[in-house]
Each structure stands twice: as C-alpha cells, then as structure tokens.
C-alpha cells in the first residue's frame, strides 16, 4: 500500500510548529547562524530552486542535533529589476511568460491580471514560495521574516548606505557600466536574460590618416602597430562619416553608436561604402608611411570600428586574410609584394609566429573558427614571453608585457590613439529584451569596489573563511581582484531611495549584502516592539557597531532601554554569520559583495566565517526549461511525491559543485528505501543489548565507524556521500549480522537492532525530517528526533579485533562459496587449516616492515631467516611473496588495524564458522592447525595456509 506521505509530513510539521521547535533566541548554548540567499519572489519555485535551501536546511538541522542553538531565518527580496522586469513582460502580454504561469504553475487568471503591478507579483509569489518552503520542512524561524520594502528594512539600508558613504566607499563619478538603452538603467547579472554579467574591456583605437579623415582601428595589442602592413576593410559595409569631438572619423554605424554611449559628442556627416575605400591608402600615424586598404570578409561592422589594422607576422587572422587576398591578385601585382613585418621575438617561434600557428592548425581560410584558437595562443605567448625587436624604435629590447603600457601612453600623448570600451561577451540582453551596451555613467553613485585597501581587507577576511567546496576559493580571489566601481543605484523598481539623492533607488545587489544582521531586528519589528519612525543612525550604530550608549539611544528613539539592550545582546550573540549558502552563479556578485560589505561596515569579530556554494539542478540530465517541457513546480512535486523523497533525490544525485540530476526513477528508489526502513522500525520492540557476542561487538563497532563517517562528511558538506552512508552503505553489514544471528538461532538481538536503527534514523533526520520523525516514534521514542542528540562516535567503542574476526569469517565463507562454484561438487564435509605459528610471527614482521615502507622481498627474507622464530621461511620461500601481496591488497587502514591487534587466534575465530556453514551448505566443518600432528590432511593442503588465508579442503 502506498504510504500517506502528505499525511505524515503534515502531522510532523504541525507538531514542530506547536513546539516552536525552530525558533531560536539567545541562550547558554553555543550558536550557529546559518543563512541562505533570500529569493526574489518574481516567479514560482521549481524543483531546481529547492537545492540550495535543502542543503542549508540539512546543515541547520545537523548542527541543531549536535547541540548548537541554530538560527536559520528567511526573507524576501522585492528590490529592483528581477520583479520589475517580470511585471513589464506580463504587461506587454509576453506569451511565453503568461503561458508558463497559466499552464505550468496554474496561477489563477484573476491573479495574473494584476501582475503588471510589481508589488502584486511580489506578494503573490512571496506567499507561494513561503508555502513551498514550509511544505519542504525547512527548519526556518519564521518570526524573523521580512521583505526588502518594509519600512524598517529601508531605514536599515539607509543606514548601511550612509555608513559606506561616510567611509568614502560610495563615490560620485563617471565610470563605465553595462547598460540597457531601453530602460535607461545600469545592468548586471540579475538584470539580464540568462543571468550573464556584462563584461567589458578597453580597446585602443589607432588613428590612421585618410586625407582629412581619421580611420580608427581597434586593437588589444597596440605594440603591433610597428608591424602593420595594411588595413582590412569590408567592401559591403556602409561606413559612416562622423565628427567625434571635433575630429572627422570614418567607422561603422555600430561603433559610432557605441561611442555615443561612451559620452563622446557625435554628429553624422555622411556615408561611404567599403568598396570605395578598397585600394586607397592611409598614413601610419607615427611615421610618414602609406599603406593600402585591402578587402577582407572576416571584418565585421559590429566588432571594433568595422576596420582592422593588419599585422600578418603576429596576428593569425591577418596572416590568413593576406594569403586569401593574394590568391585573387594577378602575378606581378604590387600587392603580391606585401610581406609580414616581424617585430616580436618569442622563444619557440621563428620570424612569423602567425604563419606557424596557421600552418600547424591546417587553417583553410579566414572564416575558419580555429583562427580564434591560434590568435589566443600567439597573444598569450607573445605577451608573456615576447621581446620587441630593433624595428620598434624606443621600445626595442623591452618585454611585451612591460612595454605595453608605455606604448599605450606614448600613443595617447602623441594623439595617435583613442579608446573604445566594448562588451567582450556580447550580445548580452536585458530582461526587457534589449541588447546591452557599455555606457559611461557620469556623475553617478558608485560603490568603489576598485579601492585597493578595501580589496585587501576583503582578502584578509576571505583567507580566514572556510570556503566549501575548497576548490571554489580561487574564484573568490579572482573576483575580488577584478571588481571595479559598481553603480549602486537605479532609476526604476521597488527598493530604498538613496538617502541623499531621492531620484535614485539602491539597486538589488547593493541592498542585499549585510541584511543577515537585519534578521535580529526583524523579530522585534514583527513583535511590534520597534517601528520605522523611531529608528535613527544612533540606534543602528549602537546595536550593530557598539558605538554610543544604550541610554542615549533609548532617549533619542523612545524605545525602552531594555528593548535596545535586548536587541544589542541578541545581535552580539548571533553575529557573525557562521555559514552562508548560495548557488554558484552568485560567486561573482552577491557572495563577494557580502564579504566586501561586511569588512567595510563591521568590526573584524563580526566578519563572516563560511560560504557554501552549490551547483544547479538538471532534470533527467538536461537543463530545466519551458521549451523542454521539463519544469516541475516545487509544490506540485511535493504533492506528487512527498517532500522527503524530493529532498533526498536532490541531495543524493551530486556533491556540492556538480549539477544535481533530478529524475523520477531515483525518487521512486528512495521512496521504496524509506518505506522499508519505516517497516523495520515498526517491527522492532525496544530492548537493551545484553551479553554481547562476537557479531554484536562487530556490528556495534561498524555502527561507530558509520557515525564517524557520516559526521565527518556532513561537516565538510559532502552531503551526497553522507546520505549514501546513512541510506545504503550499512545494508550489507546488517545482512551479514542477520546471517550470523540466524545461523546461531539467536532471539536476543532486539536491543542491538534497536540501537542500530535508532542511530540510522537519527542520522537520516536532517535529510528526511518528516519520515524520520515517524520512524523515531515507531521505535518507541516520545520526543522529537529533530531535537534528539546527534549520535556520538567514540573511537574506543570500535572493537578492531571483532572487525578483523568477522572479516576473516566473511572472506573464508566467500572462499568456500567460490570453490564450490568452480568444482561444482556437493560437499560432504569441509576442513579448514590455519597456519603454523611461525607463519603468524613472520606475517607480523612483514606487516610491520611494509608499514615502515620496506617492500623488498630479499631484505624481508634475510631478516626473517636471521630470526630463530621465523627461520622456517627457508623451507617455503614463496610464502613471503604471497604474504606481501596479501597485505598490499588491503587498504592502509586495515593494515594498521591488523598491526595494532597483533596475533589473533584464528582457530578459535573460525570455529564460529560452523553454524554458518551448516546453515548454508548443510555440512559440518572441522578446523585444524597446520602444525596439528593428528590432522586429517589427505591432499596435503595444510601447508598452503597463510595468516588470514586459511587453507580449505572440501570433500
């Protein structure tokens, strides 16, 4: 019968709420403050959204059971373009969006109708997302919930922004930003379709003279001007004649538009077709030399200026274009005389590196995509290893990497050059659909993330933080390194106004960086103890930074002193943030801003301690998307499969950084597993373990190792591994234990089984909290497993000897089975021979030597022969080699364990086999020692016995 998942889940959620189980206030215990990036309520949650929250919830539940006072709160991010963009698309009747809302998420028509108002969208999905989080069983303290447009939150953001401005970290200036020309708004990752950060770089425009006109070409390698042989022009492009800040230029229309956004004064004077330029000459800026403009098809109007400076010795595109061009020229044409000019010497390359790369990659023509690869290769090699040759005037003999900036400076001073900022990852589209550009924003407000000392402080914080998984750490260093000034205000959207310039709203990635501190205040706001109008700078300074006196704050704000004290103490109890969870896509922005803003605002002891980053969720191995029809709304999935199976299916499919692959087959498998565990729990009667036998000691030892493995894995947030241990890894041990117990017809094991199951259920509870409660109750407990103590692993409870004994029994049973399989005989009796005592001593010596690193057979042999106790090895030289192989085939930990327990009485251990063999094969066994003169040994088998490898005779 199908289990009533929803009924069980509802029952336990109700009990958690009644017991206020996840409400955390300061107490005597040690605290853990675990937070996860709050959601934008701009659309409903699907399965993919559940991953980060589920991981954080497991983390929170684990530490709660470990005895910590865990605070795990949640808020909702109403600010900025994510919600505004959705409202605009609904208002514009975007059928893709409306279809999705109607048909996938079943949002009622009457609600969709209101969605052109951003606040209506936010409120609707706020409730929807919250309901989903509750149904997933997240152990959130909902007393601390808030939205980023709550009046008190806005006061808090004003304080944050003012504090940064007082420290000169918010500056007014002119800086380039990614920009949506339609919305007239700066854009960053959260404002774009597909969540891409607009990335731009500075190109140098080299100004070639063409009678009265300047023809600019864009390059990242201004040093190659010395090797220019011609320009490339596309005959099909209709170029513009424009006046740029008083100079007359010829360039593509796209480039002229880009320059307008870069704050250049442009007027349009006329047009000239590329074909009219072909064959004409331009003058190289730094010397009176004329070069021709030749035609090439790889030149595009939307890249650079639409004209290209050709350096065939060092640029693969130019080299190939020159080859292509010459093919179409008659013999004897002057153009056949154009030769590449080599200007850089690089180790590993001859005179013309571009030619070498083109030939090595067998490039066919200038439209060959492999040219990109060739370009990248030459660029890197010449930049880091190249030296400028004698034909580069005052720069001769310098390394390219060192001369580059000097050349840029020289070109600018002589007015031979200009600059163009260009997106490197275009096209980037805004959420409104428009293509983004780079714009110089003048006299705007910027967070000065380019500030060197700010970066240093952030790096100091990062160095002390735990970053999980560890391999993601370099990405943070990289982001801190490249961050530059960032516009912190927008003109549209919900949010908090800039306190000193009310036309602007603090944008969404700037009002979400230190809000974890606000969770402390939110509780008091929701209880009606404080309100927006009474809050001042003094209040926040006092509570968060310890500046000023509580008495004074109470006076100014009219908040009772006791309340101010309470808030202040609660903040100093819960802060700093112990762990921050988020998806990997937030590393280049939110997570790094989180570090930067904390170090800017708070004293060092309040800096964050840890960041945990996870990958995304795939559906049946594919990205979730509407067009694939594979989006499963989270609440729908909970109704269909239950929350716990979904939590487990998400976690068990991948470790942190990998993409988790959600599929229904694994959900079904997990459900079956949980049902069978629940059935086992229902069958067990409580009892206490008494009179421990060999197998009891063994299974309890294995249980200790299990606890230790699961705990270590969760601490490292290796949740997939931890869950695997809890759900599956122990099954084969249980089977063996049952086999041993059944063979002996024991009936006194409920105490043991109860202990084993209770431990597993307790460890399952952070992952599958509802069903674990149900199991816990079935096991006879009256308290809640979410509040139970995490099982402790005590190393000295691990009985190494019993583990070795059971291993010997298992491997011997395995050997008997294999012999029977190969020989196909029906056994009448089974005889087992354990090795002679000198072999056991020799084994110990060999083992000790191997642990020390001595593997040489000759050396081992010599020392064994030299010893009276083991000199018999002479008669059996093969023994050493085989024993070395036996030992090496085991993991190091098992070797150490064997060395630790020393000699074991194999004969005594193997006598335990009798009941097992009788049960499995219906015959009795006899165990002899190799040295026993009375032994039955017709086939002379006993001499092949080795320690832990008894000889076996089956008749």
Q: How far apart, in whole angstroms, are the C-alpha atoms of residue 944 and residue 940? A: 8
Q: How far is the CB of 435 from Zn ion (least distance, A)?
A: 9
Contact 825, 854 (CB under 8 A): no
From residue 123 to residue 162, the character string flagging contacts with Zn ion as x (rule: CB under 5 A) and all else as - is ----------------------------------------
Q: How far is the CB of 524 from Zn ion (least distance, A)?
A: 38
Q: How far is the CB of 330 from Zn ion (least distance, A)?
A: 52
Q: How far apart, in whole angstroms, are the C-alpha atoms of residue 309 and residue 288? A: 16
Q: How far is the CB of 245 from Zn ion (least distance, A)?
A: 28
Is the torsion defined by CA of 782, 783, 788, 792 positive or negative? Answer: negative
Closer CB to Zn ion, 85 or 950, in the complex: 85
Exposure string of 918-946, with b = 16+ CB inside 10 Å and e = fewer, is: eeebeeebebbbbeeeeeebeeebbebbb
Choose one: 95-103, 175-183, 506-514, 632-640; the region binding Zn ion (CB under 5 A).
175-183
Contact 751, 688 (CB under 8 A): yes
| 3-state SS class at 385 | helix
Among 430, 525, 577, 619, binds Zn ion (CB under 5 A): 430
Q: How far is the CB of 237 from Zn ion (least distance, A)?
A: 28
As given in the structure block, the two tokens for residue 221 are 């390698």
Q: How far is the CB of 430 from Zn ion (least distance, A)?
A: 3
Choose one: 182-190, 652-660, 779-787, 816-824; the region binding Zn ion (CB under 5 A).
182-190
Closer CB to Zn ion, 186 or 583, in the complex: 186
Q: How far is the CB of 425 from Zn ion (least distance, A)?
A: 17
Q: How far is the CB of 111 from Zn ion (least distance, A)?
A: 25
Q: How far is the CB of 279 from Zn ion (least distance, A)?
A: 43
Cα-flanking dihedrals φ and ψ of residue 513, to 5°? -105, -30
Q: How far is the CB of 240 from Zn ion (least distance, A)?
A: 26
Q: How far is the CB of 113 from Zn ion (least distance, A)?
A: 24
Applying CB under 5 A, does 193 fall inside the site for Zn ion?
no
Which of these, 53, 37, 44, 48, lies nearest to 124 by C-alpha position?
A: 44
Q: How far is the CB of 706 from Zn ion (least distance, A)?
A: 54
Closer CB to Zn ion, 183 or 295, in the complex: 183
Choose one: 254-262, 427-435, 729-737, 790-798; the region binding Zn ion (CB under 5 A).
427-435
CB neighbours (10 Å) of residue 432?
19
Closer CB to Zn ion, 194 or 270, in the complex: 194
CB neighbours (10 Å) of residue 381?
18
Choose one: 37-45, 301-309, 332-340, 434-442; the region binding Zn ion (CB under 5 A).
434-442
Q: How far is the CB of 263 from Zn ion (least distance, A)?
A: 20
From residue 53 to residue 92, the character string flagging contacts with Zn ion as x (rule: CB under 5 A) and all else as - is ----------------------------------------
Closer CB to Zn ion, 430 or 710, in the complex: 430
Closer CB to Zn ion, 434 or 734, in the complex: 434
Choose one: 132-140, 172-180, 307-315, 573-581; the region binding Zn ion (CB under 5 A).
172-180
Which of these, 731, 903, 910, lies nearest to 807 by C-alpha position?
A: 910
Closer CB to Zn ion, 206 or 432, in the complex: 432
DSSP element (H, E) containing 423: strand 417-423
Q: How far is the CB of 125 from Zn ion (least distance, A)?
A: 21
Q: How far is the CB of 176 from Zn ion (least distance, A)?
A: 17
Closer CB to Zn ion, 186 or 645, in the complex: 186
Is the torsion defined by CA of 105, 108, 109, 111 positive or negative? Answer: negative
Closer CB to Zn ion, 432 or 634, in the complex: 432
Choose one: 18-26, 118-126, 181-189, 739-747; the region binding Zn ion (CB under 5 A).
181-189
| 3-state SS class at 608 | coil
Cα-flanking dihedrals φ and ψ of residue 635, to 5°? -65, -35
Closer CB to Zn ion, 187 or 749, in the complex: 187
Closer CB to Zn ion, 432 or 913, in the complex: 432
Contact 354, 316 (CB under 8 A): yes
Kindly provide the residue ranges of all beta strands, DSSP E only, lying in 98-198, ordered along the sequence: 170-180, 185-186
Q: What is the dihedral of CA 644, 645, 650, 653, to 10 degrees?
A: 130
Q: How far apart, in whole angstroms, are the C-alpha atoms of residue 442 and residue 438? A: 13
Kindly provide the residue ranges of all beta strands, DSSP E only, lying in 136-280, ordered along the sequence: 170-180, 185-186, 200-210, 213-219, 230-233, 238-244, 247-251, 266-273
List Cβ<8 Å contacts ≥24 apart for 587-592.
587/472, 587/475, 587/476, 587/479, 587/613, 588/189, 588/197, 588/475, 588/479, 589/188, 589/189, 589/190, 589/197, 589/509, 590/37, 590/509, 590/512, 590/513, 591/476, 592/458, 592/476, 592/479, 592/480, 592/483
Closer CB to Zn ion, 182 or 300, in the complex: 182
Applying CB under 5 A, does 180 fall inside the site for Zn ion?
yes
Closer CB to Zn ion, 171 or 434, in the complex: 434
Choose one: 183-191, 666-674, 676-684, 735-743; the region binding Zn ion (CB under 5 A).
183-191
CB within 8 A of 118, min separation 6: which ones? 78, 83, 84, 86, 87, 493, 494
- Looking at residue 335, the DSSP 8-state letter turns out to be G
Contact 503, 691 (CB under 8 A): no
Applying CB under 5 A, does 432 fall inside the site for Zn ion?
yes
DSSP element (H, E) containing 646: helix 643-652
Choose one: 176-184, 334-342, 578-586, 910-918; the region binding Zn ion (CB under 5 A).
176-184
Closer CB to Zn ion, 98 or 193, in the complex: 193
Closer CB to Zn ion, 285 or 495, in the complex: 495
Closer CB to Zn ion, 260 or 640, in the complex: 260
Cα-flanking dihedrals φ and ψ of residue 36, to 5°? -135, 150
Q: How far is the CB of 565 from Zn ion (least distance, A)?
A: 47
Q: How far is the CB of 432 from Zn ion (least distance, A)?
A: 3
Contact 773, 50 (CB under 8 A): no
Choose one: 106-114, 413-421, 433-441, 624-632; the region binding Zn ion (CB under 5 A).
433-441
Q: How far apart, in whole angstroms, are the C-alpha atoms of residue 127 and residue 784? A: 28
Applying CB under 5 A, does 182 fall inside the site for Zn ion?
yes
249 has which bridge partners?
214, 242
Helix H segments across 248-343? 253-261, 274-277, 316-327
Choose one: 279-287, 432-440, 509-517, 705-713; the region binding Zn ion (CB under 5 A).
432-440
CB within 8 A of 545, min separation 6: which ones? 601, 602, 603
Contacts with Zn ion by CB under 5 A: the residue count is 6
Closer CB to Zn ion, 182 or 881, in the complex: 182
Q: How far apart, in whole angstroms, are the C-alpha atoms of residue 137 and residue 39? A: 17
As given in the structure block, the two tokens for residue 759 are 């431990």
Q: How far is the CB of 178 from Zn ion (least distance, A)?
A: 11
Applying CB under 5 A, does 619 fall inside the site for Zn ion?
no
Closer CB to Zn ion, 430 or 749, in the complex: 430
DSSP element (H, E) containing 292: strand 290-295
Choose one: 177-185, 386-394, 660-668, 879-887; the region binding Zn ion (CB under 5 A).
177-185
From residue 383 to residue 422, the character string flagging contacts with Zn ion as x (rule: CB under 5 A) and all else as - is ----------------------------------------
Residues engaged in binding Zn ion (CB under 5 A): 180, 182-183, 430, 432, 434
């Amino acid at each position: 019968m199908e289990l009533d998942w929803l009924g069980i889940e509802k029952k336990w959620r109700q009990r958690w709420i009644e017991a206020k189980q996840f409400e955390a206030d300061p107490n005597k215990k040690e605290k853990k403050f675990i937070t996860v990036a709050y959601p934008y309520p701009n659309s409903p949650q699907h399965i993919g959204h559940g991953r980060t929250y589920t991981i954080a919830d497991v983390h929170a539940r684990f530490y709660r059971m470990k005895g910590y006072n865990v605070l795990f709160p949640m808020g909702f991010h109403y600010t900025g373009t994510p919600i505004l963009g959705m409202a605009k698309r609904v208002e514009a009747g975007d059928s893709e969006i409306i279809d999705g809302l109607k048909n996938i998420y079943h949002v009622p028509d009457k609600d969709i109708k209101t969605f052109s108002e951003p606040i209506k969208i936010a409120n609707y999905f706020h409730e929807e997302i919250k309901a989903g989080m509750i149904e997933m069983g997240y152990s959130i303290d909902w007393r601390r919930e808030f939205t980023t447009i709550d009046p008190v939150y806005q006061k808090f953001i004003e304080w944050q922004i003012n504090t940064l401005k007082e420290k000169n970290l918010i500056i007014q200036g002119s800086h380039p930003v990614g920009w949506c020309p339609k919305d007239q708004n700066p854009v960053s990752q959260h404002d774009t379709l597909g969540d891409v950060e607009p990335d731009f770089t500075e190109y140098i425009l080299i100004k070639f003279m063409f009678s009265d006109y300047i023809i600019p070409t864009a390059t990242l390698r201004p040093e190659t001007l010395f090797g220019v042989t011609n320009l490339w022009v596309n005959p099909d492009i209709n170029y513009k004649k424009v006046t740029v800040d008083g100079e007359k230029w010829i360039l593509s229309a796209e480039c002229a538009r880009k320059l307008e956004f870069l704050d250049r004064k442009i007027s349009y004077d006329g047009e000239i077709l590329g074909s009219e330029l072909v064959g004409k000459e331009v003058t190289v800026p730094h010397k009176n030399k004329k070069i021709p403009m030749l035609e090439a098809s790889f030149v595009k109007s939307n890249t650079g200026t639409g004209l290209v400076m050709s350096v065939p010795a060092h640029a693969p595109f130019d080299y190939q274009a020159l080859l292509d061009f010459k093919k179409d020229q008659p013999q004897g044409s002057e153009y056949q005389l154009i030769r590449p000019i080599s200007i850089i010497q690089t180790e590993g390359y001859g005179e013309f590196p571009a030619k070498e790369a083109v030939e090595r990659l067998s490039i066919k023509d200038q439209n060959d995509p492999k040219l990109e690869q060739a370009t990248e290769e030459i660029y890197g090699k010449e930049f880091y290893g190249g030296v400028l040759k004698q034909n580069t005037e005052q720069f001769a003999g310098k390394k390219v990497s060192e001369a580059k900036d000097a050349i840029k400076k020289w070109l600018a001073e002589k007015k031979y050059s200009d600059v163009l900022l260009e997106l490197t990852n275009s096209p980037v589209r805004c959420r409104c659909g428009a293509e983004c550009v780079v714009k110089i924003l003048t006299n705007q407000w910027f967070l000065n993330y380019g500030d060197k000392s700010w970066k240093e402080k952030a790096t100091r914080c990062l160095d002390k933080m735990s970053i999980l998984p560890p391999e993601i750490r370099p990405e943070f260093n990289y982001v801190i390194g490249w961050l530059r000034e960032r516009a912190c205000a927008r003109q549209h959207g919900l949010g908090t106004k800039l306190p000193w310039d009310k036309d602007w709203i603090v944008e969404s990635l700037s009002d979400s960086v230190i809000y974890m501190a606000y969770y402390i205040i939110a509780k008091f706001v929701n209880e009606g103890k404080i309100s927006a109008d009474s809050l001042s700078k003094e209040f926040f300074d006092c509570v968060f930074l310890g500046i000023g006196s509580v008495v004074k704050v109470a006076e100014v704000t009219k908040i009772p002193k006791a309340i101010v004290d309470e808030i202040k103490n609660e903040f100093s109890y819960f802060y700093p943030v112990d762990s921050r969870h988020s998806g990997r896509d937030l590393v280049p922005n939110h997570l790094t801003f989180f570090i930067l803003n904390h170090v800017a605002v708070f004293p060092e002891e309040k800096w964050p301690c840890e960041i945990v980053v996870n990958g995304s969720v795939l559906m049946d191995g594919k990205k979730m998307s509407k067009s694939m029809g594979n989006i499963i709304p989270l609440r729908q999935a909970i109704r269909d499969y239950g929350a716990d199976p979904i939590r487990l299916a998400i976690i068990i499919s991948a470790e942190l950084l990998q993409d988790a692959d959600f599929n229904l087959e694994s959900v079904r498998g997990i459900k079956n597993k949980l049902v069978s565990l629940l059935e086992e729990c229902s069958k067990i009667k409580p009892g206490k373990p008494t009179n421990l036998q060999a197998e009891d000691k063994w299974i309890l030892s294995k249980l200790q190792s299990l606890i230790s493995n699961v705990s270590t894995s969760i601490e490292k947030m290796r949740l997939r591994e931890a869950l695997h241990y809890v759900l599956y890894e122990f099954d084969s041990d249980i089977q063996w234990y049952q086999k041993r117990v059944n063979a002996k017809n024991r009936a006194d094991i409920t105490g043991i089984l109860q202990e084993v199951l209770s431990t597993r259920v307790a460890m399952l509870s952070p992952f599958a909290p509802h069903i674990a409660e149900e199991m816990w109750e079935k096991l006879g407990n009256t308290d809640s497993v979410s509040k139970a103590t995490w099982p402790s692993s005590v190393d000295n409870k691990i009985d190494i000897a019993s583990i070795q004994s059971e291993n010997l029994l298992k491997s011997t049973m395995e050997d008997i089975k294999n012999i029977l399989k190969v020989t196909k005989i029906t056994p009448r009796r089974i005889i087992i021979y354990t090795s002679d005592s000198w072999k056991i001593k020799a084994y110990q010596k060999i083992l000790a030597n191997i642990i020390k690193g001595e593997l040489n057979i000759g050396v081992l042999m010599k020392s064994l022969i030299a010893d009276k106790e083991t000199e018999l090895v002479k008669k059996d030289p093969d023994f050493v080699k085989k024993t070395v192989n036996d030992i090496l085939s085991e993991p190091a930990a098992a070797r150490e364990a064997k060395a630790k327990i020393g000699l074991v009485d194999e004969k005594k251990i193997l006598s335990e086999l009798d009941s097992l063999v009788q049960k499995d094969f219906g015959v009795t066994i006899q165990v002899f020692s190799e040295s026993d003169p009375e032994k039955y040994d017709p086939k002379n088998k006993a001499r092949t016995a080795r320690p832990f490898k008894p000889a076996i005779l089956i008749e």
